[in-house]
Structure 1
Amino acid sequence: MNLFYFVAFLSIFFSLLVIFSKNPVYSVLFLIVTFFTFSVHYILLNAQFLAIVNFIVYMGAIMVLFLFVLMLLNLNKDTEPMKSSLLKIAGVVSGLCLLLTLVGAVKSLNVSEPLILKDPGIGLVKNLGKVLFNEFLLPFEVSSILLFSAMVGSVLLAKKDPKKI
């Protein structure tokens, strides 16, 4: 339980660093660390598949793409337009509305008894694979054929001369 609280503290700390960082590259790097702490939370909750997907998709692909785009844009204070005070006030008001909504949601929670799962192995990759390849084999294969055809179509659209197919 102490590890959970430590990782929760790190999640909150790095997410605050994402918000308050002045440099956008550092902000993306802190977001990658925040997603890593989310993966640790998933492992602690016995959801290994979600941890692996979070690690590969969000940390490995999307956040690296964000980092490359930010480095490509080369943002600095000269190229960034000045924000009006009306826009800043609207941001503060919307942030306070979000905070009020979160406080109301936390107050309405009923945490008198802990949640106990009927099947503790529900998030394991082994169990997910059994369900995926037994009950959902046909939709899984149809989606793989759909993704394959989309990949072939994107390669054909990206070709320079369509007559040389």
Structure 2
Amino acid sequence: MNTQIIFILLSLMAIGSAVMMLASKNPVKSILWLIVVFFAISGHYILLNAQFLAVVNIIVYAGAIMVLFLFVVMLMNLNAETEPVKNYRLQFIGVISGGSLLLILLTFLMRTPVAQPVQMKVGESGLIGKLGMTLFQNYVLPFEISSVLFLSAMVGAVIIGKRN
């Protein structure tokens, strides 16, 4: 029962944050709301006993990619004076196409039979220890090759960046 309540709270948090992300007029605030969505999704991963995915989601998406998005948005220096003129015809077409998509999705959901609730299986498939043992026992060579490729890509990026 507790996991259902946590699931519902995380789902409401994800949906509410996604709506706020879309409704926000400031791009920085929109990115911050997207970070909240990523944290809610990580909570869902933890409920599914996939702690590694939750940690990777927080580190990679909420950490690195969102910082990159914030950096790009702040680097672009979006001001209201430089904003292009709004085309109301395009906005009308967007509202019509979005409403059509919503109607199609609602029609599809109404015709789909309701599925029976799925019981979560508790196991070790999503745990970090099991993943690490599989990674370092069965896939050592591909793991090391990928690390060398990443290292060579970083060296190449530094060389290209220092060329000027």
**TM-score, normalising length from structure 2?**
0.86
Distance (Å, rounded) in 1 between the aligned partners of 2:104 and 2:64: 32
Distance (Å, rounded) in 2 between the aligned partners of 1:49 and 1:29: 23
After TM superposition, give the deviation of residue 152 of structure 1 in Å: 1.8
Give the corresponding residue for 1:122: 125
Q: How does 1:36-75 map to 2 (within 5 A)?
A: 36-75=39-78
* Cα separation, partners in 2 of 1:132 and 1:154, compared to 1, 3 Å: same
- The one of 108, 111, 114 aligned to 2:115: 111
After TM superposition, give the deviation of residue 21 of structure 1 in Å: 0.9
Deviates more, 1:84-93 or 1:24-33: 84-93
Distance (Å, rounded) in 2 between the aligned partners of 1:130 and 1:104: 46
What CA deviation, in whole Å up to 9, does each residue of 1:1-33 have, x standing for no partner?
A: 111101111111111000011211111111111
The answer on 1:7 being equivalent to 2:10 is: yes
Percent of counterpart pairs with the same letter?
49
After TM superposition, give the deviation of residue 89 of structure 1 in Å: 2.2
Q: Read off the aligned partner of 2:101 and give its amino acid letter.
A: L
* Cα separation, partners in 2 of 1:65 and 1:129, compared to 1, 3 Å: same
Gaps of 5+ in 1: none
- Structure 1 vs Structure 2 CA RMSD: 2.1
Tell me, yes or no, if the aligned pair for 2:124 and 2:130 is still in contact at 8 Å.
yes
Tell me, yes or no, if the aligned pair for 2:52 and 2:126 is still in contact at 8 Å.
yes
Distance (Å, rounded) in 2 between the aligned partners of 1:90 and 1:137: 52
* Cα separation, partners in 2 of 1:109 and 1:67, compared to 1, 3 Å: farther
Tell me, yes or no, if the aligned pair for 2:48 and 2:120 is still in contact at 8 Å.
no
Give the corresponding residue for 2:95: 92
Distance (Å, rounded) in 2 between the aligned partners of 1:52 and 1:109: 34
Runs of 4+ displaced beyond 6 Å: none
* Cα separation, partners in 2 of 1:82 and 1:7, compared to 1, 3 Å: same
